[in-house]
Amino acid sequence: MRKIFPDHWSFLLGEIALYTFVILLLTGTFLTFFFKPSMQEVTYTGSYAPLKGVMMSEAYSSTLDISFDVRGGLLMRQIHHWAALLFIGGLMIHMLRVFFTGAYRKPRELNWLIGVALLLITLIEGLTGYSLPDDLLSGAGLRITAGIAQMIPIVGTWMTFLIFGGEFPGSDIIARFYSLHILLIPALLLALITGHLFLMWVQKHTQMPGKGRTNMNVVGSPLWPAFMIKSGAYFMFTFATVALLGGLAQINPIWLFGPYSPANISAGTQPDFYMGFLDGALRLMPGWEVDFAGYTLTLSVLIPALGPILLITLGLALYPFMEQWVTGDRSEHHVADRPRNNPHRTSIGMAAVVFYGVLWLSAANDVIAAHFHLSMNELIYVGRVLIFLGPFLAYVITYRICLGLQRRDAQVLAHGVEAGVIKRLPDGEYIEVHAPPTPDLEDRIRGKAPVPMLPGLGDGHGNGHGDGDGEVPPEELRGRFGRLRARMSRAYGGEKVPLEESHEEYREQEEEEHAVMATRPAGGRKGGTGGSGGPH
């Protein structure tokens, strides 16, 4: 109960995901009492007049009953949907925080892999839940899912029959997705989240650099009472936010879409945001097909369906180990990095964010074209260019911003911070007084450490030797492959902007200046008006 937890606002991003998962379990349990996972056709006789007498699946009919005939049913549906969006969003932002601060490094590689698995399984959980109402919008998404499965070489047709129980749409998919959505996948998520929290407890939480924070201690508040009271209040705030969204902001009004029919499709439809990048990739991909060994490979579906998700998940999973290989750093890290202090990692992360963002935005290119009176074809071509140019520009711009912020930190140490006080010098010149940085700011800046490099490599500042217990033997850097690794390590690691000595030099200059001002006669000042020359 006295275990110490560090304080930083970014640590609350992961708690949003945890708390919304609890809300999902509670609201989902309520919805299971009334939902009927059956594709058997029935005639709707509920209270929503525009659909009375319409043939629909029992799943869609029961969802309408939850929305209009069950007391509090629509509120619970919308809270459940908003909580799902916030859960996935909170999980994504939490992973970005971990990535940008380097909190995935040893000894937390396993916890990072658990986080990647959580993200992938959560996307599948969202897809299965989104499909359960069997409305026109979710049915169109299921049709895309079936088409993607069919495009997998050799086993695609068999996989589609296995998932849908025959030709699309079959009669079993809702019941199968229901079992996955409420039993199997939640059990996996619960097990992974429990393991994630257990490892975090054992390995201790990372902390941001600052006064008194090292790899050997934890600075923060104890679990009881401070952390538990704060977390309890934060859970209530999160629940209140989701409840307000569920009560005031309409989401997924399935009664406006109507029941699913393979012959119908609605215009201007987009999936929930977490699947938007796949829809955008499908829209941007040219219509490519190739014949290979008697099989037709529809690359216009296969590449956008599998390429982005494999690129993102494999990139996330392998990055900690690739960074270890490049830098040779296998030491433990319990103090997180400021993103500016590892510019290449931060730039890679921002390039991935822009790559995802271009695909996500392209999922709505038809709506953008309609609202802003633009050409749909031109938006597609712009998206195809931006999918390559955008990440490159994001990398370059982010790298320059990180170096600029490092230079600013070095300037703060060397010259102090602007005090907002204007002083006139003896010769009549007006300057702004700089004050020494606060101890907390100085410690946060001085918490910067050079990005490790392989042994034997220099960066021009006397830095670059790995400080871990797994130093790479020099012979591994020989040969073409070894030289490539050495060049990558030299580019990725080292000190890009060394910190200046400190603000002690500035203090000495200030003291010398005050001494000169005290010894010079008042009449010797140039441009003066008889004032004291002190700060005003």
Q: What is the CATH number of the domain that holds 120?
A: 1.20.810.10
Which of the four pLDDT bands, split at 50, 70 and 90, describes residue 481?
Answer: confident
Sign of dihedral through CA atoms 437, 440, 442, 444? Answer: negative
Which of the four pLDDT bands, split at 50, 70 and 90, describes residue 519?
Answer: low
Q: Which of 345, 352, 340, 316 is nearest to 329 (CA)?
A: 345
Q: Is residue 299 pLDDT above 50, yes or no?
A: yes
Cis ω on the peptide bond leading into residue 498 (within 30° of 0)? no
For the segment 387-409, the average pLDDT, to the nearest whole number, is 96
Of 145-149, 317-321, 532-536, the one with minimum mean pLDDT is: 532-536
For the segment 236-247, the average pLDDT, to the nearest whole number, is 96
Does residue 501 fall inside a structural domain?
no
Cβ-based neighbours of 400, under 8 Å, separated by 6 or more: none
Does residue 370 fall inside a structural domain?
no
Does residue 496 fall inside a structural domain?
no
Q: Is residue 242 pLDDT above 80, yes or no?
A: yes
- pLDDT tens digits for range 201-235: 999 889 998 888 888 888 888 988 888 999 999 99
Which of the four pLDDT bands, split at 50, 70 and 90, describes residue 495?
Answer: confident
Percentages (nearest 5) of helix, strand, coil residues in the chain: 60, 5, 30
For the segment 8-26, the average pLDDT, to the nearest whole number, is 94
Q: Is residue 283 pLDDT above 50, yes or no?
A: yes
Q: For position 161, what pLDDT does the model report? A: 87
Q: Is residue 470 pLDDT above 60, yes or no?
A: no
Count helices and strands (H / E) in the chain: 18, 8
Question: Distance (Å, rounded) from C-alpha 181 to C-alpha 173?
Answer: 12
For 185, the domain range is: 4-265
What the block records as the tokens of 355 is 């790559």
DSSP result, 206-237: -B-S-TT--TT---SEEIIIIIHHHHHHHHHH
Which of the four pLDDT bands, split at 50, 70 and 90, describes residue 520?
Answer: low
For the segment 255-275, the average pLDDT, to the nearest whole number, is 82
pLDDT: which is higher, 415 or 245? 245
For the segment 187-195, the average pLDDT, to the nearest whole number, is 96
**Checking DSSP bridges between strand 55-57 and strand 41-43, what pairing results, if any?**
antiparallel
Mean pLDDT, the chain, whole residue set: 86
Q: For position 153, what pLDDT does the model report? A: 79
Sign of dihedral through CA atoms 126, 128, 134, 137? Answer: positive
Of 64-73, 220-229, 464-473, the one with minimum mean pLDDT is: 464-473
Q: Which of 115, 78, 242, 81 is nearest to 189 (CA)?
A: 115
Does residue 283 fall inside a structural domain?
no
Quote the pTM value: 0.86
- In sequence order, what are the beta bridge partners of 56? 42
pLDDT: which is higher, 103 or 263? 103
Q: Are 197 and 115 in contact (CB under 8 A)?
A: no
Which of the four pLDDT bands, split at 50, 70 and 90, describes residue 513?
Answer: low
Does residue 18 fall inside a structural domain?
yes
For the segment 374-402, the average pLDDT, to the nearest whole number, is 96
Question: Distance (Å, rounded) from C-alpha 480 to C-alpha 270?
Answer: 48
Which of the four pLDDT bands, split at 50, 70 and 90, describes residue 512?
Answer: low
Q: Is residue 456 pLDDT above 80, yes or no?
A: no
Q: Is residue 465 pLDDT above 50, yes or no?
A: no
End-to-end CA, the chain: 53
Work out the burial of residue 486: count CB atoms within 10 Å of its CB; fewer than 13 is exposed, 13-18 middle, 19 or more buried: buried
Q: Residue 201 in 3-state DSSP? A: helix
Percentage of the chain beyond pLDDT 90 is 54
Of 173-177, 280-284, 436-440, the one with minimum mean pLDDT is: 436-440
Q: For position 462, what pLDDT does the model report? A: 43
Q: Is residue 329 pLDDT above 50, yes or no?
A: yes
Of 123-127, 196-200, 295-299, 405-409, the one with minimum mean pLDDT is: 295-299
For the segment 265-276, the average pLDDT, to the nearest whole number, is 80
Does residue 339 fall inside a structural domain?
no
Does residue 398 fall inside a structural domain?
no
Does residue 295 fall inside a structural domain?
no
Q: For position 141, what pLDDT does the model report? A: 85
In Å, what is the CA distance from 59 to each residue of 42, 132, 161, 253?
10, 7, 21, 15
Total domain count, the chain: 1
Which of the four pLDDT bands, split at 50, 70 and 90, describes residue 454?
Answer: confident
Q: Are 536 and 423 in contact (CB under 8 A)?
A: yes
Question: Distance (Å, rounded) from C-alpha 119 to C-alpha 122?
Answer: 5
Q: Is residue 530 pLDDT above 70, yes or no?
A: no
Residue 492, amino acid: Y
In Å, what is the CA distance from 440 to each residue of 209, 221, 445, 508?
10, 18, 9, 22
Which of the four pLDDT bands, split at 50, 70 and 90, describes residue 503?
Answer: very low
Which of the four pLDDT bands, split at 50, 70 and 90, describes residue 536?
Answer: very low
328 phi/psi in degrees, rounded to 5: 70, 15
For the segment 326-347, the average pLDDT, to the nearest whole number, is 93
Instruction: Give the count of beta carbons closer than 10 Å to the beta carbon of residue 449.
Output: 15
* Residues listed for the chain: 536
- What Rg do the C-alpha atoms of the chain give, in angstroms? 29
